[in-house]
Structure 1
Amino acid sequence: MKNKYQDLIEQTFDFPQEEFSVENGELSYRGIDMNALIEKYGTPFRFTYLPVIGKQIERCRNWFHSSMKKQDYKGKYEYCYCTKSSHFNFVLEECTKHKTNIETSSAFDIDILIALHKKGKLDKDTYVLCNGYKTEVYIKKIKELLELGFTKVIPVIDNFQEFDILDEQIDQELEIGIRIASEEDPKFEFYTSRLGIGYKDVVSFYNWKLKDHKKFKLSMLHFFVNTGIRDNAYYWNELHKFVSVYENLIKNDADITYLNVGGGFPVKNTLAFDFDYEYLVDEIIGQIKMSADHVDARHPDIFTEFGSFTVAEAGGMVYTILDQKKQNDREKWNMINSSFMTTLPDAWAISKRFIMLPINRWNEKYERVFLGGLTCDSDDYYNSEQHTNAIYLPVYNKKEPMHVGFFNCGAYQESISGYGGIKHCLIPSPKHILLSHDENGKLVDELFAPQQTSEEMLKILGY
């Protein structure tokens, strides 16, 4: 009878997979012995496997370059990394190794870029797309970047007022963009994005403020879909409206040379994940080409801004099950040695799901459980796995500790939860491990940050 945990997974999914395999009842992640890391560092810990970042960047470039060649598209493709997904130095440096461009969303992002440049990690000819609502401080930072000699800084106008501030603060010639305020998914609580300028106002704004401007040239049109790039009627409808505005700008003599196709690619969040990225890229390239040909314009260079897609699949969290609480005849709570609210905050806040797998004991029987965190908050739990709306794990055994891993959760976690700050119920930030390879292909692991101490938290609190 097949009643082991490994049997359950192999019967439910196509397994093993590129990232995951099992040997002697223990999980291997991308060829890395996770139990060896647990023995060396203890749990809980967060990890970032740096080679995945470069792999994601090159995968995406290959999709776009292949599609452009196939469709005889004359424009170029430019990959941008969104700093807001993870601001850590090791992430940005890995991105710059692969010559990505950068998208910023706040004034302090510019300070990061200046720091990278001073370390020789960021070239002045890198495209820097300055998105988001721009305060005067943000615009002053953009000016500082220009004065350092960065040649491809493109502020993307979010509202009418910030254009006037840009005009007052910046004296040199400058390419700028306009962000379109897309209509939100019908499931949202509001109709139109709060970010950007409405579809119907873009052309009139161009004619009013930008046409024949002495310093500024409108070169980029940008739109962003909050739900990300998906093969559904909502996304294609927004893309159609986007290229329609592009055509109208061309007809009004705007020299639009870049189209910024916003909205991120989806990230693998289940072992059953099946997403046809190549098809989506082909459709996007095809629609933009058709639109440019329709108005007899050169094929614009296409920019994408991928944050989660770049970094999410490089990251994970590992916990140990401390105990099992049986609250009634059906509910078994496996308690982790950390908190979901503080280490995977978007699982708590927006019910985001990740790939969850045990690290050990795959050759044992399984049971249905709930996972609970250490805080005193009733919302600190994880309760539905992607394939059955339930969690199954090897049967709890107090004499044989079980470890569980959450994978592909490398984006946003520490910026949302507040890295190095105060956590709910003072549950400490876990240690963070960086994983990479040396020149001989041997795994290199290093401790980026130890687990937060009580002394550090007391100091923040003024004790």
Structure 2
Amino acid sequence: MKTKYVDLIDQTFDFPQEEFTMKNNELNFHGIDLMALIKQYGAPLKFTYLPKISDNINRAKTWFANAIRANNYSGSYNYCYCTKSSHFRHVLDEAIKNDIHIETSSAFDIDIIENLKAQGKLNDDVYVISNGFKRDQYVQNIARLINNGHKNCITIIDNYEEINLLSEAIEGTYNIGIRIASEEEPKFEFYTSRLGIGYKNIVPFYRKEIKENPKVTLKMLHFFINTGIRDNAYYWNELLKCMQVYVDLKKICPSLDSLNIGGGFPIKNSLAFDYDYAYMVDEIIRQIKQTCDAAGVAAPNIFTEFGSFTVGESGGIIYEVLYQKQQNDREKWNMINSSFITTMPDTWAINKRFVMLAINGWDKEYERVLLGGLTCDSDDYYNSEQHMNAIYLPKFNKQKPLYIGFFNTGAYQESIGGYGGLQHCLIPAPKHIILNRNEEGELNCSLFSEQQTSEEMLSILGYDYNINKAIANVTSNSEEISNVIKASY
């Protein structure tokens, strides 16, 4: 009878997979011995595997290049990285090695662009696509970038006032795009995206505000839907509606030459994940070309803005199972040494699922469990996998620590969780390491940040950490403690 964890994985999935393999009954990730990392750095432990960022960028470039060639498509392809997915320097440094462009969403993003330019990592040929609802600081930063000579900026107009605000701040001419306010899926609580300008209003807006404006050149139409690029009737219907706006606009606006189809490529959230990226890219290119040919207009240059797809599959986090609680005759709770709410907030906020696997104990019998975090919040748990309404792990044994890993967590989790800030119940942010490979393929590990300390948290909260240190060094005598506190003020 096959009752071991390795049997469960082998029977349930096509295993091993490209990034997940097993050696000596322990999980390896892209050939990396995860137990060796645990022995060196401990757990909880966050990691970023940089080569996966370049890998995904070049996969997408290949899909688009093949589709453009197969469909005899006349436009070019431009890959943009959405900085909001992960603003960390090591992520941007890796991404921009691959001849990409940048999409921004807020004022401080422009400061990052200027920092990278000052280091010689970005040049004036890089497109900076600025999305988002823009008010004073964002407008001023965009204007500063353009006024300082970065002409390859395309500011995506999100509302009717932004052209006037930009024109007041920008000294010369500048390029813009217009974002379409796409219609949402029927299950959404609202009908139309809050972002952008409605389909029917774009051509009248161009005629009124842009056509005769000597400072402004319309270069791009921007299209994005919240559910991402999916092979369903809703996506294809919205894309065709977008293309109708594009051809109508192109006929009266010769400068329009680019279509931004946004982002939304899914990333692996289960070992059973199946998505035909090449087919989707080919079909998008085919439909765009078909619509343009039928209307007698030139096919646009294609821009994409991939955030999660770029960086998501590079990240992971490892926990240790501290203890098992049998709460009733059916439910066993494996308590981890951190918090899901603080380290993987998407599991709590939007019920997102990630690839979850045991790191060790693959030769042990498995059992059904629930996973609980350290906070006292009732929502700090993880109780099901994408492919089944359960979690199965090797049986817990107090004498032999069990480690579990969550993978493809590289997008948004640090920014949503508030990296370097306060965490729920003051659970410290875990140690974070960067994994890379040299030209010979040898693994390099470097420490990005230590586990967050109480001193860092107390400082944010406004406490004097020196008082706590002094109190810890005196007896429990209340008079002595009182004197320590008084002496600090």
Shorter-chain TM band: over 0.9
Amino acid in the other structure paired with 2:265:
F
Q: Which residue of 2 aligns with 1:299?
A: 299
Aligned to 1:423: 423
Match of residue 261 from structure 1: 261
Asked whether the 8 Å contact 2:340–2:348 carries over to 1, the reply is yes
Shift of 1:177: 0.3
Q: Which amino acid is the alignment partner of residue 404 of structure 1?
A: I
Corresponding residue for residue 97 of structure 1: 97
- Partners of 2:97 and 2:148 lie apart in 1 by 21
* Partners of 1:250 and 1:295 within 8 A in 2: no
Runs ≥4 in structure 1, deviation > 6 angstroms? none
After superposition, where does 1:131-210 map in structure 2 within 5 Å? 131-210=131-210
Which residue does 2:356 correspond to in 1?
A: 356
Offset at residue 119 of structure 1 (A)? 1.1
Structure 2 CA distance for aligned equivalents of residues 115 and 204 of structure 1: 38
Q: List per-residue Cα deviations over 1:40-79 (Å, max 9, x = no partner).
A: 0000011000000000000000000000001100110000
Q: How far has the Cα of 1:185 moved from its partner?
A: 1.5
Partner Cα distance (1:136, 1:401) in 2: 53
Counterpart check, 1:461 vs 2:461? yes
Q: How does 1:270-419 map to 2 (within 5 A)?
A: 270-419=270-419
The AA in structure 2 aligned to 1:450 is E
| Distance in 2 between residues matched to 1:159 and 1:205, nearest whole Å | 10
Give the counterpart letter for 1:133 in structure 2.
Answer: F
Distance, in Å, in 2 between the alignment partners of 1:194 and 1:283 is: 28
Is the 8 Å Cα contact of residues 226 and 263 (structure 1) preserved in structure 2?
Answer: no
Instruction: Please state how far the C-alpha of 1:223 moved relative to its aligned partner.
Output: 1.1
CA–CA distance in 1 between the matches of 2:363 and 2:124? 54
Question: What SS does structure 2 have at the residue aligned with 1:91?
Answer: helix
Alpha-carbon displacement from aligned partner over 1:112-161 (angstroms, at most 9, x marks no partner):
11111111111121000000000111111011111222121000000001
For residues 284-327 of structure 1, give each alpha carbon's deviation from its aligned partner in whole angstroms, at most 9, with x where no partner exists.
10111112212322221000000000000000010000000010
Q: For 1:88 and 1:253, how far apart are their aligned partners in 2?
A: 38
Q: Take 2:185 and 2:396, find their aligned partners in 1: how far apart are those partners?
A: 42
Cα offset for 1:234? 0.8
Counterpart of 2:8 in structure 1 is 8
The letter of the residue matching 1:30 is: H
**Unaligned ranges ≥5, structure 2:** 464-489
Matching residue's letter, 1:3: T
Q: Which residue of 2 aligns with 1:43?
A: 43
Secondary structure at the counterpart of residue 21 of structure 1: strand
What letter corresponds to residue 119 of structure 2 in structure 1? K
- SS in structure 2 at match of 1:374: coil
Letter in 2 for 1:65: A
| Range 349-358 or range 385-394, more displaced | 385-394
1:446 maps to 2:443: no
CA distance in 2, matches of 1:403, 1:290: 52
Offset of 1:251 from its aligned partner? 2.5
1:242 aligned partner: 242
Aligned residue number for residue 211 of structure 1: 211
What is the deviation of 1:187? 1.3
Residue deviations 1:189-245, cap 9 Å, x none? Answer: 111000000001000000111113211111100011011100011111110110010
Residue 125 of structure 1 aligns with which residue?
125
1:363-383 deviations in Å (ceiling 9; x for gaps): 110000000000000000000
Counterpart Cα distance in 2 of 1:191 and 1:228:
16
Residues 251, 297 of structure 2: 8 Å contact kept: no
Distance 1:317 1:168 in 2: 47
Distance 1:296 1:139 in 2: 36
In the alignment, residue 221 of structure 1 is paired with which amino acid? L
Aligned to 1:434: 434
Q: Distance in 1 between matches of 2:215 and 2:223?
A: 24
8 Å CA contact 1:368–1:390 kept in 2: the answer is yes
Check whether the contact 2:173–2:215 (CA below 8 A) recurs between aligned residues: yes
What amino acid does structure 1 have at the position aligned with 2:83? T
**Cα drift, residue 254 of structure 1:** 4.3
Contact 2:84 2:105 in 1 (8 A): yes
- For 1:116 and 1:251, how far apart are their aligned partners in 2? 38
Question: What is aligned with 1:251?
Answer: 251
Q: Give 1:263 deviation, angstroms.
A: 3.1
Please say if 1:17 is aligned against 2:7: no
SS of 2:161 mapped into structure 1: helix
Q: Which TM-score applies when normalising by structure 2?
A: 0.94
Matched residue count: 463
Q: Following the alignment from structure 1 to structure 2, what is the Cα–Cα distance between the partners of residues 172 and 96?
A: 28
Given that 1:251 and 1:295 are in contact with CA atoms closer than 8 Å, whether structure 2 keeps it comes out as no
- 2: CA distance, partners of 1:289 / 1:18: 34
Instruction: Give the secondary-structure state (helix, strand or coil) at the position aligned to 2:113.
Output: helix
When structure 1 is superposed on structure 2, of 308-317 and 295-304 the one drifting more is: 295-304
Structure-1 residue corresponding to 2:56: 56
Residue type at the aligned position of 1:344: M
Report the counterpart of residue 67 of structure 2 in structure 1: 67
Identity of aligned residues (%): 62
The aligned amino acid for 2:15 is F
- Partner of 1:85 in structure 2? 85
Inter-partner Cα distance in structure 2 for 1:96 and 1:200:
37
- Local SS of the residue matching 1:160: coil
Moved more, 179-188 or 54-63: 179-188
